[in-house]
Amino acid sequence: MTDSRPRWQRRIAVFYRRTRLVPIFEILTLVALVAMLAVTYFVTSGGASDDLLSPPLVASLLVANLVPATALMVLVARRLAKGRAARSPVGGRGRLHVRLVALFSVIATVPTLMVVIFASLLFQSGFQFWFSDKARTILENADNVAQVYSAENKDRIFRDVQAASGDVVGAINQYGLDTVEFGDYLLYQAVVRDLSEMAVVTVSSAGELQLRAFVNLDDRPLERRIPPETLSQLRKGGVRVVNNDVGDRVEAVVRLDPEQEVYLYISRFVNQKAIKQIDEARSAASDYQETLARSRTLQVRFNILLFLISLLIVALTIWIALALADRLVRPVGQLVNAARRVAGGDLSTRVPSDAAGDELGTLGNAFNRMTRRLEEQTRDLVSANSQLESRRALIEAVLSGVTAGVISVDTDRKVRLINSSAEALLKAPVGAAVGQRLSELAPELDAQLDSEHREDIVQLASGGELRTLAVKRVRVEGGHVITFDDITEQLLDQRRAAWSDVARRIAHEIKNPLTPIQLAAERLQRRYGSEVTSDDGTFERLTSTIVRQVSDLRRMVDEFSSFARMPKPVFHAEPVADIARHALFLHEVAHPDIDFAFHAPDPSPILVCDRRQLGQALTNIVKNGVEAIQQKREDGDTSAQSVAMTISEIAGQLHIVVEDSGVGLPTERSTITEPYVTTRVKGTGLGLAIVKKIVEEHYGSIEFEDVDTGGTRVRLVFDMATLAGMNTVHSEEAVNN
């Protein structure tokens, strides 16, 4: 898959992967943030508390701190995104998480920075306006007006109490303190001087205030009108303007008699709206002064609040981006897990259906439909395979019981099916032939596929033996089916039957004139041998030759007769070592120049056999060994000349091995046991044929091997258990007879 990005982007990506810039950028961002925080602290902490910072400076500091802080948050969120992506079922490097975090961070950061800048500038401008000289002058003037108004009221009440005190003292002296006339006089003074309240108060010996005369007093107690500290000051002399908790009037007290504690109390109501405005002006001025004292602190706090709100917005946006990425990755992860389970063979896997109906839900529904169809198709395939396997097992069971070899090959001539009979005939290891090319397994059968004939006779060389196979082939869909039977023994039996008939006829036709010829030659030799003296013994040599050749012909006829009329063996339990030793002894006496060796276990194994036939077979084998040694000697080889016979019992089988040091086996060794096949000049080709027939009638086998040092090894193998059963059968037949 090719990368469709521009070349410069690919180069940047390669450089980014090689240099690992992200950790370096994280460290640099953290250092920049710490540095900007330090610079901001030093800038904002210097100067007087009421000295405001300029709006551009504050906005610049805010942005300078916000940019690295936001970048650091994005980088931390990137790590979190990668960690969450790594723990998700999808795995990987979390590109979706990182991209969503980056996208949302940019979307949130840019407008946040703009809003923060404008908010900071707007706040700083408003802050500067409210704390400007004009605003300060207005508030100070309002406070001054309030103070002037309050001072004027106090001065007026002060003058009134001083003026009234002299008049009241005169009235007391004239009317007395507790008279009606004095009360009327107080009322007159109150009206004339526009007073709201007026009273004369004395102090008892116990120090309690006593009201002696009054005008328009409300229910407030005297102690609140004339506090103790005011009395203490009045005892020293002078006039005191009382500052009490009632803000709707001004009050004043003066001592009337230096000798006695007699006091004059007066009050006057003031304008309520004016008093309220005065209080508001004073409160505003006080608040303004307090705010002005910490104006720089408020300015810094507001910008810190903007900074934190901006970071909170970015953090909330990043959290939303991560949650959205998880929301997007979750169904993808479910699909990945489901795909892995399907790959593992669990076709019943389904992903939860998404009710939202978005693209991911559509993908999940499509995946569920796919797995459902796969499950149904797999179920059908399993059922079909089960049926095919049952049919295959049935075919294999049938083929395993068939004696004929069966091979199925595909169009590439690779073996798809082979039964046990074919493996045995082709000497192939069990199960190893499937998948192998037919040309490697059996080139003769592979060549038959190119033939025009569907039925043919094929000579197959396998394991050092030449076998004749009757081959049939059938073309099927996707290849061929080859069936073949081993007809080697069948052809051999046919040839044996034919040769037996020929031998019987030859023996009958030749044997009849042999006796008269031999008798005539012997009679001529006896009657005329003494009379013929002129030919230097020619007559005697000729008649002797006739007699000798007739004897050879008679021996040949006897072999023909033996091969043609081989009697059924008569089985008895015999010591096989005695039979073998006797067969070897006859040749040992006749050929003293050859070393004969005999090895047999003691005691001798007992074999159920026909003693005469087994002895004949062993004699013939030893005879062939002796003749092979003589032929080797005639060829000029006078090396070691020996014949050894060994008898052993292995796993219930009796092995008789005859080994000679003769000329060895011929090249065409597969036909040496067939009738009339011989390599010797005077041989009839019936010796080994008779031996094989005797061995087969004893349910045994005969094998021919080359000796490494030269010579031939003949191995006869008999199943002792099978032959023991033959002894029982013949015993029962003898009893029945």
DSSP string, 263-330: EEEEEEE--HHHHHHHHHHHHHHHHHHHHHHTHHHHHHHHHHHHHHHHHHHHHHHHHHHHHHHHHHHH
Q: Is residue 218 a part of any domain in this protein?
A: yes
Is the domain of 118 the same as that of 64? yes
Q: What is the DSSP letter of 244?
A: -
Work out the pLDDT band at 637, boundaries 50, 70, 90: confident
Q: What is the pLDDT of residue 648?
A: 92
Work out the pLDDT band at 48, boundaries 50, 70, 90: very low
Is the domain of 245 the same as that of 305? no
Q: What is the pLDDT of residue 575?
A: 92
d(CA 625, CA 483) in angstroms, rounded, equals: 41
Is the domain of 243 the same as that of 323? no
Rg (C-alpha) for the chain, rounded Å, is 70
Q: Is residue 392 a part of any domain in this protein?
A: no
Is the domain of 591 the same as that of 718? yes
d(CA 685, CA 495) in angstroms, rounded, equals: 13
Q: What is the pLDDT of residue 681?
A: 47
Is the domain of 556 the same as that of 597? no
* Peptide bond connecting 603 to the previous residue in cis, omega within 30 degrees of 0: yes
Average pLDDT over residues 551-577: 71
d(CA 331, CA 329) in angstroms, rounded, equals: 6
Q: Which of 562, 584, 613 marks a domain boundary?
A: 562
| CATH, residue 410 | 3.30.450.20
Q: What is the pLDDT of residue 117?
A: 72
Is the domain of 638 the same as that of 730? yes
Q: What is the pLDDT of residue 347?
A: 74
Q: Is the pLDDT of residue 645 over 90?
A: yes
Q: Which of 562, 595, 611 marks a domain boundary?
A: 562
CA atoms within 13 Å, Cβ hemisphere of 165:
22
Q: Is residue 343 a part of any domain in this protein?
A: no
d(CA 457, CA 724) in angstroms, rounded, equals: 39
Q: Is the pLDDT of residue 680 over 60?
A: no
d(CA 694, CA 684) in angstroms, rounded, equals: 17
pLDDT (tens digit per residue) in 5-27: 566 666 665 555 555 666 777 78
Six token digits for residue 573: 């339990």
Is the domain of 510 the same as that of 633? no
Q: Range with the lowest mean pLDDT among 71-85, 238-252, 294-308?
A: 238-252
Q: What is the pLDDT of residue 239?
A: 63
Q: Is residue 210 a part of any domain in this protein?
A: yes
Average pLDDT over residues 660-665: 82
Average pLDDT over residues 692-707: 86
d(CA 108, CA 115) in angstroms, rounded, equals: 11
Q: Range with the lowest mean pLDDT among 69-78, 200-209, 397-406, 706-715?
A: 397-406
Average pLDDT over residues 63-81: 77
β-pair type (700-706, 642-650): unpaired
Q: What is the pLDDT of residue 142?
A: 64
Q: What is the pLDDT of residue 647?
A: 92
Is the domain of 593 the same as that of 722? yes
Count of domains for the chain: 5
Q: What is the DSSP letter of 260?
A: S
Q: Is residue 116 a part of any domain in this protein?
A: yes
Residue 164 and residue 189 in contact, taking contact as beta carbons nearer than 8 Å = yes
Q: What is the pLDDT of residue 268?
A: 78
Q: What is the DSSP letter of 596?
A: E
Average pLDDT over residues 437-446: 78
Work out the pLDDT band at 342, boundaries 50, 70, 90: confident
Residue in 694, 618, 699 with CA at minimum distance from that of residue 656: 618
Q: Range with the lowest mean pLDDT among 79-83, 352-356, 385-389, 537-541?
A: 352-356
Q: Range with the lowest mean pLDDT among 130-139, 151-160, 270-279, 369-378?
A: 130-139
Q: What is the pLDDT of residue 299?
A: 67
Q: What is the pLDDT of residue 646?
A: 92
Is the domain of 523 the same as that of 603? no
Max mean pLDDT among 57-61, 266-270, 498-502, 591-595 falls in 591-595
Work out the pLDDT band at 49, boundaries 50, 70, 90: very low
Q: Is the pLDDT of residue 252 over 70?
A: yes
Q: Which residues contact 82 (CB under 8 A, 6 or more apart)?
A: 93, 94, 97, 98
First to last CA, the chain: 94
CB atoms within 10 A of CB 93: 11
Average pLDDT over residues 683-705: 79
Q: Is the pLDDT of residue 651 over 50?
A: yes
Work out the pLDDT band at 129, boundaries 50, 70, 90: low
Q: Range with the lowest mean pLDDT among 130-144, 563-577, 702-716?
A: 130-144
Q: Is residue 381 a part of any domain in this protein?
A: no
Q: How far is CA 113 from CA 323, 469, 571, 578, in A?
A: 24, 96, 118, 120
User: Cα 236–237–241 angle (5° rounding)?
Assistant: 110
Q: What is the pLDDT of residue 654?
A: 92
Q: Which of the pair, 91 or 108, is modelled with greater confidence?
A: 108
Q: Range with the lowest mean pLDDT among 301-310, 414-423, 452-461?
A: 452-461
Q: What is the pLDDT of residue 50?
A: 47
pLDDT (tens digit per residue) in 139-160: 666 666 667 767 777 777 777 7
Is the domain of 499 the same as that of 469? no
d(CA 172, CA 593) in angstroms, rounded, equals: 195
Residue in 673, 656, 592, 579 with CA at minimum distance from that of residue 629: 592
Concatenated DSSP letters of 65-122: HHHHHHHHHHHHHHHHHHHHHHHSSS-SS-HHHHHHHHHHHHHHHHHHHHHHHHHHHH
Angle formed by the axes of helices 611-634 and 687-697, to 10°?
A: 150
d(CA 532, CA 541) in angstroms, rounded, equals: 12
Is the domain of 182 the same as that of 331? no
d(CA 582, CA 440) in angstroms, rounded, equals: 49
Cβ density class 181-205: b for 16+ within 10 Å, e for less = ebbebbeebbeebebbbbbbbbbee
Q: Which of the pair, 138 or 389, is modelled with greater confidence?
A: 389
d(CA 515, CA 200) in angstroms, rounded, equals: 203
Residue in 266, 307, 252 with CA at minimum distance from that of residue 117: 307
Work out the pLDDT band at 735, boundaries 50, 70, 90: very low
Average pLDDT over residues 665-678: 62
Residue 506 and residue 557 in contact, taking contact as beta carbons nearer than 8 Å = yes
Residue 622 and residue 584 in contact, taking contact as beta carbons nearer than 8 Å = yes
Residue 595 and residue 642 in contact, taking contact as beta carbons nearer than 8 Å = yes
Is the domain of 593 the same as that of 683? yes
Q: Is residue 29 a part of any domain in this protein?
A: yes
Note the pTM of the prediction, 2 decimals: 0.38
Mean pLDDT in the chain?
74
Which residues form the domain of 470?
A: 401-484
β-pair type (262-269, 249-255): antiparallel
Work out the pLDDT band at 411, boundaries 50, 70, 90: confident
Q: Is residue 361 a part of any domain in this protein?
A: no
Q: Which of 541, 562, 583 marks a domain boundary?
A: 562
d(CA 74, CA 26) in angstroms, rounded, equals: 10
Residue in 492, 491, 447, 450 with CA at minimum distance from that of residue 470: 491
Six token digits for residue 645: 């016979």
Give strand pairing partners of 472: 455, 483
| CATH, residue 237 | 3.30.450.240
Q: What is the pLDDT of residue 468?
A: 75
Residue 55 belongs to what H/E stretch?
helix 55-87
